[in-house]
Structure 1
Amino acid sequence: MQQYSLKELRARKNLTQSEVAEIMGISVQTYNAWEKDVSNVAIGKVNALAEFFGVTVGEIFLPCNMKNIHI
């Protein structure tokens, strides 16, 4: 399990899925699939999501026991 989920990070900012999708330049359906872990986040959006939420890529996408591994 990751340190932070997209849903948790979005809730901390009091944003809807629609608002985050608009900011990221994607459809609500795409963001919803990312949040539900049904679809992988597009590689071009990984850093943008981490930066937007103020966390590292690893904190969102790596399991907690791997957070000290440098990628």
Structure 2
Amino acid sequence: MALALLVAAPQTAQAYLGPGLGMGAIGVALGVVGSVFMGILAVVWYPIKRLLRRLRGRSAAAPTPEDAGTD
């Protein structure tokens, strides 16, 4: 029981975390958030982009009334 209390008791870490580690942690966090955002963007944007391309392709291929009179 005494051993469990000694292990669970809070102690000072006696460690120094410098500014380089802090900036690295911020960089990693921003990288993870950016990667998740880009992944969501890829999943959402590219199907929309394909749909827009198809719609533009159909409208360009369809003859207009002006084209029918110039034959």
- Larger relative CO (CA 8 A, sep 6+): 1 or 2? 1
Task: Please report the TM-score for the alignment, with normalisation by the length of structure 1.
Answer: 0.19
Bigger CA radius of gyration: 2
Task: Please report the TM-score for the alignment, with normalisation by the length of structure 2.
Answer: 0.19
Name the one with the larger helix percent: 2
